[in-house]
Amino acid sequence: MRTYIICVLLSINSITKAQSFMLTGKLEQWRCPITVSVQLQWQGQDGETKVETSKIQNGTFAFAGTVNGPVKAFLSLINTLDPLLKKDYWQAPITVYLEPDTLSFLSKDSLMAHLECVSNSETNRNYAVLSRSLAGANFAEQCIWDEWRAADKAGKINESFKANHYKRLYENKILRKELVSTFIKTHPNSIVSLDALVDCYAGSTPAYTKIAPLFFSLDEKVRKTERGKEFAHRLELLAKTDIGSIAPNFALPDTAGNIQRLQGFRGRYVLIDFWASWCGGCRAETPYMRKALEKYGDCGFTIVGVSLDKDRDGGADAEKKVFRGRDAWIKAMKEDQTSWLQLSDLKGNDSPVAKAYAVKFIPANFLIDPNGKIIAKDLRGPYLEEKLYELIK
């Protein structure tokens, strides 16, 4: 891969709330013979994702827009399907923070870990510190998944391999959370800390008692940003579904249209599993849940699936193999051979039940004890059966 330098110069003029920015960049040693564009992506003031592109001309590009305070943005090359570009010029997206300052970034190769802010930008310096601290954990996760793909291709994935895979992923996730926690404690005044907290717990329903102290350790000005307010609202919901809390009751229709209520399962251990037909990660958990139910189903354990599929116009088209909403939900259950109760109001993420449990990402699950109390969250892979073994002996 050819070595090249990226120098990004950013100047921002402040206005009342929005802040105008002009971002220009120069790619030294850029010799690509085809037309290539750079894409800049960031979240606008209205919460919508903004995407702009700029053609590289004589190694330079430029962007203009507005941001409301320091905002994480992503710079990436497009046209990467071209064989020539993919071979000699492809690079992973570069993360920068747009803020009122003149910024220069230097990257001698395409690796994110080597991106260096060479101007006086505290926010980007903080992000560089975070990136370096997480580099080892990121590489470890990549290796774990590379080994999975290689084993899958060779047909060598068995129960022992799966158990070890989940164990390593879990341990690496714990390490990542510890690293993020350390960064937050040493950088409480940085918006990077808030973003790191949000990103670290994005794909789960974490325990309130674990993340609330980290959030409230942040400086007040960070907590009062729009992103801070959004996370504070999520914390309020998480507090209601934290371990030790009584699980919010709900009533949802089953596949036959009959209304089923959570309180009707008192006296048993219940796993509430949030999933959807389009969620590959959710459906990959089915064999583990089936095994747990087969082993402990006669010992007071059951599963209640809550689908976040959403009714869409058009219905199913069996000839074109297109299934939507209820049809996709039913089809997935048949394919996965789920024998437990399945419920859904087919409102997707707008389901009041998903909101009551602060579920923003799936897969997500909650283990409820016979008294209706939440005793565990996000038990994936073999960890569900391990937890049940502790409870039901």
Domain annotation for the chain: domains and CATH numbers: 5-120 (2.60.40.150), 126-240 (no CATH), 251-391 (3.40.30.10)
Per residue in 282-331, pLDDT (tens digit) is 998 999 999 999 999 999 999 999 999 998 644 444 444 445 688 899 99
Q: Residue 5's pLDDT is what?
A: 41
In this model, does residue 355 exceed pLDDT 80? yes
**Sequence-separated (6 or more) residues with CB below 8 Å from residue 45:** 17, 18, 66, 67, 68
> With contact defined as beta carbons under 8 Å apart, do 163 and 382 qualify?
yes
The single-letter DSSP state of residue 41 is E
Looking at per-residue pLDDT, the higher value among 26 and 89 belongs to 26
Q: Outline where DSSP puts E strands in 56-136.
A: 60-67, 71-77, 94-98, 105-106, 116-117
Q: Residue 357's pLDDT is what?
A: 92
Half-sphere exposure of 103 (CA within 13 A, CB side): 26
Rounded mean pLDDT of 30-50? 79
In this model, does residue 215 exceed pLDDT 70? yes
Q: Residue 6's pLDDT is what?
A: 41
In this model, does residue 269 exceed pLDDT 90? yes
> With contact defined as beta carbons under 8 Å apart, do 183 and 194 qualify?
no
Sort residue 381 into left (φ over 0), alpha (ψ -120 to 50) or beta. Answer: left
**Sequence-separated (6 or more) residues with CB below 8 Å from residue 290:** 337, 338, 339
The single-letter DSSP state of residue 334 is H
> Amino acid identity, residue 383?
Y
Rounded mean pLDDT of 94-123? 66
pTM for the model stands at 0.72
> With contact defined as beta carbons under 8 Å apart, do 202 and 358 qualify?
no
- Calculate the alpha carbon distances from 224 to 29, 202, 232, 240 in Å: 43, 19, 9, 22
- Both tokens assigned to 293: 């139910």
Which is nearest to 305 in space by CA: 360, 245, 260? 260
- Calculate the alpha carbon distances from 239 to 200, 243, 245, 356, 371 in Å: 18, 9, 8, 11, 19
Question: What is the percentage of the chain residues whose pLDDT exceeds 70?
Answer: 83
> With contact defined as beta carbons under 8 Å apart, do 19 and 100 qualify?
yes
- Both tokens assigned to 44: 């606008």
Looking at per-residue pLDDT, the higher value among 1 and 79 belongs to 79
Per residue in 169-211, pLDDT (tens digit) is 889 988 999 999 999 999 999 999 999 999 888 767 777 888 8
In this model, does residue 46 exceed pLDDT 80? no
CA 331 and chain centroid, separation: 26
Question: What is the percentage of the chain residues whose pLDDT exceeds 90?
Answer: 44
State how far the Cα of 329 lies from the Cα of 277, in Å rounded to an integer. Answer: 5
State how far the Cα of 231 lies from the Cα of 347, in Å rounded to an integer. Answer: 23
- Both tokens assigned to 10: 């950013």
Strand order in the sheet with 19-28: 5-14, 19-28, 60-67
